[in-house]
Amino acid sequence: MGGCVSVPRTEQGYIDAHVHVWTPDTGRYPLAEGFTREKDMIPRSFMPRELFAQCKAQGVSRIVLIQMSFYKFDNSYMLDSMSRHPGVFSGVGIVDETKADVGEAMKALAARGVRGFRVRADRQKAEAWKGSVGMKKMWSQAADAGLSICLLADPDALPAVRTMCRAYPKTRVVIDHFARIGMSGTVQKSDLEQLRQLSDFQHTFVKTSAFYALGAKKAPYTDLGPMIRTLKGAYGASRLMWASDCPYQVQQGHTYADSIALIRDRLDFLTAEDKEWMLRKTAERVFFA
């Protein structure tokens, strides 16, 4: 996939559409029940200043923060990080769909700059959505308020995701990390076809992200190029967005520079306009508008 069409940095810079931050201060920001510092906080700290040390050198000036699972429904640290750095961060929160007031919880977070809500979507959980009053309320509220349902989906959940997209065609849906296709080391054609078919729904987007965890799991990650080409053909670049998945991208020999370089420099089928969408404009429209 050698060769490149360069894209100049805009005055506003690039957007990283998927980053987690956390603090070692578990007194002020306690972990949810069942999580521990030793098992779950790896690395022990990844605060905004540690993120900026990675992203600013690559021209990334805005970031979408994803609520960390070990804080569960307490979005405080993400919200506080957003308020300390106005204009830099948008947020994707987590709410409890089993609560009767889930719609009000979404509204309250949206008032503080949250633009999406993360939902875990393996096959069993996704198939149960059809019987979940709270999940139906979330998808409906997202559509009404212009918010996104952001799915950490497994490939086997995609048929159930399609059912929900059909039931809620106005709901904006963002699929994280290519729906984790290729985690086994191989991109299965049947899985990719399921993801490609979700492009039928005009409000569905895909994050091209977490390269360190997919396919060959080795920089420069160009083995993922055919999957990106397929998705670009189906969705168009205006419904794809790059993300690093920091801090996980910057561990065990992987670098932030290699992540952004796959989209910015290493795929010769991406035009300058494609890169502008994938590196800034798509995420800007979904999470910063």
SS3 96: coil
The predicted pLDDT at position 124 comes to: 96
Q: What is the pLDDT of residue 3?
A: 38
Amino acid residing at 207: K
Ranges in the chain, pLDDT < 70: 1-11
Residues contacting 77, CB < 8 A, separation 6+ = 21, 22, 23, 29, 68, 71
Q: What are phi and psi of 121, to 5 degrees?
A: -135, 75
- Give the C-alpha separation, 231 to 250, whole Å: 25
Kindly report the pTM of this predicted structure: 0.95
User: CA torsion, points 14, 242, 62, 87, in degrees to nearest 10?
Assistant: 120
Extents of the domains making up the chain: 14-288
pLDDT score, position 1: 47
Q: What is the pLDDT of residue 12?
A: 75
Topology classification of domain 14-288: TIM Barrel (3.20.20)
Tell me how far apart the alpha carbons of residues 122 and 157 are, in angstroms, rounded to a whole number.
5
Three-class SS state of 254: coil
Tokens in use for 107? 């509204």
Residues linked to residue 153 through DSSP beta bridges, in sequence order: 121
Phi, psi for residue 269 in degrees, rounded to 5: -85, -5
Cβ atoms within 10 Å, residue 213: 16
Q: Quick one: pLDDT at residue 286?
A: 98
The H or E element that residue 64 is part of is strand 60-66
Residue 9: its pLDDT value, please?
Answer: 43
Q: What is the pLDDT of residue 7?
A: 37
Kindly report, residue by residue over 120-157, the tens digit of the pLDDT: 999 999 999 999 999 999 999 999 999 999 999 999 99
pLDDT at residue 252 in the model: 87
- Determine contact, residues 82/65, Cβ cutoff 8 Å: yes
Q: What is the pLDDT of residues 247-289, one digit of tens each?
A: 999 998 999 999 999 999 999 999 999 999 999 999 999 999 9
Measured CA to CA, the distance from residue 278 to residue 243 in angstroms comes to 9
Nearest to 216 by CA among 187, 195, 252, 239: 187
Instruction: Report how far residue 239's alpha carbon sits from residue 206's, in angstroms, rounded to the nearest whole number.
Output: 7
Note the pLDDT of residue 239: 98
